[in-house]
Chains A and B, each alone.
Chain A
Amino acid sequence: MKKIGKYFAVLLTLGLLLAACSGGGQEAAPAQQENQEQSAETTAGPSELIVGAEQEPVGFDPHKVPAASSVRIYALVYDSLTKLDENLNVVPGLASEWSFSDDGKTITFKLRKGVTFHNGREMTAEDVKYSFERILNPDTGSIAKSYFSSIETIETPDPYTVVFKLKYPDSAFIANSSSAYASIVAKEVGDLNKEAVGTGPFMLDTVESGQYVLLKKNPNYFIEGQPGVDAIKFQIMKDEAERLAALRAGRIDIAQVSADFAKVLKDAPGITVKSYQSMEYSYLGINVKQQPFDDPRVRQAISYAVDRSAIVEVVWKGEASLTGPIAPAQTAWALDTSRYPSYQTNVEKAKELLKEAGYPNGFETVLETASTYPDMVETAQVLQQQLQQIGIKTTINQLEWGNYIERWKSKEMSLLVGRNTSGIDPDRSMRFFFHTEGSANVWNYSNPQYDQLVQKALEATDPAERKSLYEEAQILLVEDAPNLFLASPKNFYAVSEKVVGFEPSAAGEVYALVKTAKKN
């Protein structure tokens, strides 16, 4: 009896110990919630918006750091000369108006008066000149330099006027000037990674490495009534499941989620899912210099063999649109894909084309993609199956992101699955990626007729003429098929019911965030 009593005591102790360890989380629950509510009421919490960020920013110099995790933050701290509205129209930013000379080679921007930097000094034409010269300086290594290669000189006749003299007419200039990469910075600040002084709706307050970035409202922001919240906190949460759990528990207010998680959250109480057509598109890149892809018939055959709608269904669960060289979100420029004959899947025709090109039994090749992005891998797998139907046997080679970029740059790949972002202006989607001299033309594609079209379109000052030139170029490009343009996915945001007025669009997160408010 005594012995049993002892065992019992030991077991009881152990049981308690185990309970204390494993039950800790649950027991803490009510206290935790209370604590959270309290802090929400007592601090400035009600108007602090917490955004779940999937990556940590890697610096805040708008001219140097192109990482999306950084852009989403510095785009709230700085303004550019122009900006986009939700329909992707270019509207005044720091410049209230602008005009072109008759030959299209001079652009004059009139700046708003009384706009101040976060340090209190008024923003003037000198700052604009300084910012653009910094972008153009090769030592800066700015990604926006190629956007503004048309600039010859910058003049500042008075503190509120900036005149850009161009080497050639550049219709993309105004749209490009809305990019966050073209932010206007204060000329007295030396190291923009250490000090962020902009004119934007928010001021950089705290950067806690690996944890969060806190932005405080700029009380002197030049747009009346903006921003809608006192602070925005970008909480770094890399794991999507964690962001989802935090959203459900009311710990964060907004998070970008994948199509899969958007489905999971559809019926979650207190959370709405918002989506918009992104400016991204997926593609199959083809090295046109390499055999057998140097034969346009082979590329055409691949285009006819691929069923793009299957990719939309399988990879994007139906939450994507078919796309041409310009993503469909660019409604003003993108062509309806029904105008491309090779978008009609036709296996027989594909086989015929292959036969004509001298490959009646198909061939073997390698299809490369980045393992970092599940959608790219899935796209490659669907393509692998579809190409098999016409005898093209592919081996999929999944590369880590760094290797992938290296491979992309090498110009030596055979087939490559990837994703591009259509620029704000069609010049980027067309010239940057496919002009013979285009910086991102890694496909060795060269067609003098195409080059001429996109160059003419860039220099055209009449919008109607520009549009028709780009139409012609898009049709030509799809026919030549150095890339197969596949699908343009939707982007999803999960938003807490406490958030008011957050309407994400292709114009960008920043545009939506400045208009967002929060309920108590």
Chain B
Amino acid sequence: MARYVCKRLISLIPIIFGITLLVFTILHLVPGDPASIMLGTNATPEAIQALRESMGLDKPLITQYLDWLGGLFVGDFGQSVHTGEPILPEILQRFTVTLQLSLFAALVGWAIAIPVGILSAVRVHSPFDAIVRMVAMLGISVPNFAIGSLLLLILSLYFGWFPPIDVVDFWEDPAEAVKVFILPAVTMGIVLAAGIMRMTRSAFLETLDKDFIRTARAKGNNQWSVVIGHALRNSAIPILTLAGMQMGYLLGGSVIVEQLFSIPGLGQYILDGIYQRDYPVVQGGVLFIALLFVLVNLLVDILYTWIDPRIKY
């Protein structure tokens, strides 16, 4: 097991290298540079040139790339060309916000999806099942910004309620944090739930058809001890895989929801970076997310062996 984890971690190195190269190249291929975007149509060419020089953008691309890569080795993600502030602390700070929001959203999503999915599989082809499938379809197809805008507008219009604007960390003031995160978490949770619900349903349907379930039933176990005791663990792998991938996306920052609810998360940070061609911000942010994604997937793979001892690495 330890060997497997080590191997996976080492295989990260070429992946990271590839990502740095890709992000750097794509970003610098896009027309528009930070200096002219900052100064807009109000600038003189000399002003743009002076700003470019002060941002270090006049250096050859390869030098810029190597400078950045060199910094990464010593844990220096560089500085924002706009604010001059170091990026890593900013990324970490934004990430704690995104992490809380993601966990919250996942919790909301799973709490709805797993029980409903199970019930839907147990009562397959019942009216309940039909409704669940319909709602899940809706959840998948309606974009989350629409759900979010609707929630915001309805709550503020008819109930005069609006979530607190300033983000508070959960460990500082849990009650306030719940108020801050509840709406965005529900917004994201609904979309998550739809996917997990469908996956739970189909995984359970497949498991419930297996011989060992029939055996368990024959032994006189009642419906729920069969479902919870026997089927749950055996259906968990595909659900967990999907949940792991969703978590990866969530941590990457649900840009639109963060924008909608003014949550200063990682997604928003990178989006601003893209608009302003703040190269170091985008490079650092994307790299950080890529790392997270890989790590979450590693974690899911490790969880497999715990859930299903037949899986060995």
Which of A235-243, A329-337, A465-473, A510-518 forms part of the interface with chain B?
A235-243
List of B residues within 8 angstroms of A225 by Cβ: none
Total CB contacts across the A-B interface at under 8 A: 185
Verify if A59 is at the interface (C-beta below 8 Å from B). Answer: yes
* Distance (whole angstroms) from the CB of A282 to the closest CB of chain B: 13
List of B residues within 8 angstroms of A33 by Cβ: 160-161
Verify if A1 is at the interface (C-beta below 8 Å from B). Answer: no
Verify if B199 is at the interface (C-beta below 8 Å from A). Answer: no
Verify if A86 is at the interface (C-beta below 8 Å from B). Answer: no
- The answer, among B39, B166, B179, for a CB contact under 8 Å with A66, is B39
Verify if B21 is at the interface (C-beta below 8 Å from A). Answer: no
Given A402-B37, A405-B40, A209 contacting B261 (CB threshold 8 A): no
In contact, A66 and B90 (Cβ under 8 angstroms):
no
In contact, B119 and A440 (Cβ under 8 angstroms):
no
Verify if A447 is at the interface (C-beta below 8 Å from B). Answer: no
* Distance (whole angstroms) from the CB of A280 to the closest CB of chain B: 12
* Distance (whole angstroms) from the CB of B28 to the closest CB of chain A: 12
Which of B185-241 touch A at CB < 8 Å?
186, 189, 224
- The answer, among B38, B41, B45, B264, for a CB contact under 8 Å with A58, is B38
* Distance (whole angstroms) from the CB of B132 to the closest CB of chain A: 11
List of B residues within 8 angstroms of A406 by Cβ: 31-33, 36
- The answer, among A10, A65, A145, A249, for a CB contact under 8 Å with B156, is A249
List of A residues within 8 angstroms of B268 by Cβ: 210, 238
In contact, B32 and A251 (Cβ under 8 angstroms):
no
Which of A13-21, A167-175, A450-458 forms part of the interface with chain B?
A13-21
Verify if B149 is at the interface (C-beta below 8 Å from A). Answer: yes
Verify if B172 is at the interface (C-beta below 8 Å from A). Answer: no
Given the complex of chains A and B, what is the CA–CA distance between A158 and B61 in angstroms?
50
Verify if B83 is at the interface (C-beta below 8 Å from A). Answer: yes
In contact, B162 and A65 (Cβ under 8 angstroms):
no
Verify if B30 is at the interface (C-beta below 8 Å from A). Answer: yes
In contact, A29 and B38 (Cβ under 8 angstroms):
no
Which of B46-54, B242-250, B292-300 forms part of the interface with chain A?
B46-54
In contact, B30 and A402 (Cβ under 8 angstroms):
yes
Residue from B31, B36, B149 having most chain A Cβ neighbours under 10 A: B31
Residue from B47, B182, B268, B276 having most chain A Cβ neighbours under 10 A: B47
Which of B64-72, B108-116, B283-291 forms part of the interface with chain A?
B108-116
Q: Give a binary string over A375-392; 1 marks a CB under 8 Å from any B CB, 0 the rest.
A: 000000000000000000
Verify if B177 is at the interface (C-beta below 8 Å from A). Answer: no
* Distance (whole angstroms) from the CB of A467 to the closest CB of chain B: 25
In contact, B40 and A209 (Cβ under 8 angstroms):
no
List of A residues within 8 angstroms of B112 by Cβ: 17-18, 21
* Distance (whole angstroms) from the CB of A421 to the closest CB of chain B: 7
Which of A136-144, A197-205, A360-368 forms part of the interface with chain B?
A136-144
Given A142-B47, A209-B264, A14 contacting B156 (CB threshold 8 A): no
In contact, A248 and B259 (Cβ under 8 angstroms):
no
* Distance (whole angstroms) from the CB of A406 to the closest CB of chain B: 4
Q: Give a binary string over B258-288; 1 marks a CB under 8 Å from any A CB, 0 the rest.
A: 0111101100110010011100000000000
Given A21-B112, A145-B47, A249-B160, A59 contacting B83 (CB threshold 8 A): yes
In contact, B259 and A58 (Cβ under 8 angstroms):
no
In contact, B277 and A402 (Cβ under 8 angstroms):
yes
Verify if A212 is at the interface (C-beta below 8 Å from B). Answer: yes
In contact, A418 and B41 (Cβ under 8 angstroms):
yes
In contact, B39 and A143 (Cβ under 8 angstroms):
yes
List of A residues within 8 angstroms of B166 by Cβ: 208, 211-212
Q: Which residue of A lies closest to B157 (CB)?
A: A248
List of B residues within 8 angstroms of A26 by Cβ: 155, 159, 161
Given the complex of chains A and B, what is the CA–CA distance between A33 and B269 in angstroms?
30
Verify if B94 is at the interface (C-beta below 8 Å from A). Answer: yes
* Distance (whole angstroms) from the CB of B160 to the closest CB of chain A: 6
Given the complex of chains A and B, what is the CA–CA distance between A404 and B30 in angstroms?
12
Verify if B303 is at the interface (C-beta below 8 Å from A). Answer: no
Given the complex of chains A and B, what is the CA–CA distance between A500 and B165 in angstroms?
23
Given A141-B51, A402-B37, A420-B41, A193 contacting B83 (CB threshold 8 A): yes
In contact, B162 and A246 (Cβ under 8 angstroms):
yes
* Distance (whole angstroms) from the CB of B190 to the closest CB of chain A: 9
List of B residues within 8 angstroms of A248 by Cβ: 156-157, 160, 162
In contact, A238 and B111 (Cβ under 8 angstroms):
no
List of B residues within 8 angstroms of A244 by Cβ: 153
* Distance (whole angstroms) from the CB of B152 to the closest CB of chain A: 5
Verify if B88 is at the interface (C-beta below 8 Å from A). Answer: no
Task: Give B contacts to A, CB under 8 Å.
Answer: 30-33, 35-47, 50-51, 53-54, 82-84, 90, 93-94, 108, 111-112, 115-116, 119, 149, 151-153, 155-157, 159-167, 178-179, 182-183, 186, 189, 224, 259-262, 264-265, 268-269, 272, 275-277
A-B contact pairs, 25 of them (CB 8 A): A6-B224, A21-B186, A26-B159, A58-B38, A58-B83, A64-B51, A66-B39, A66-B42, A139-B54, A140-B50, A146-B47, A209-B94, A210-B94, A235-B165, A237-B165, A238-B262, A239-B261, A241-B149, A245-B156, A251-B162, A401-B32, A402-B275, A403-B31, A418-B41, A439-B45
Given A32-B161, A145-B46, 10 more contacts at CB 8 Å? A14-B119, A28-B182, A29-B160, A141-B47, A208-B166, A210-B264, A211-B167, A212-B166, A239-B259, A402-B30
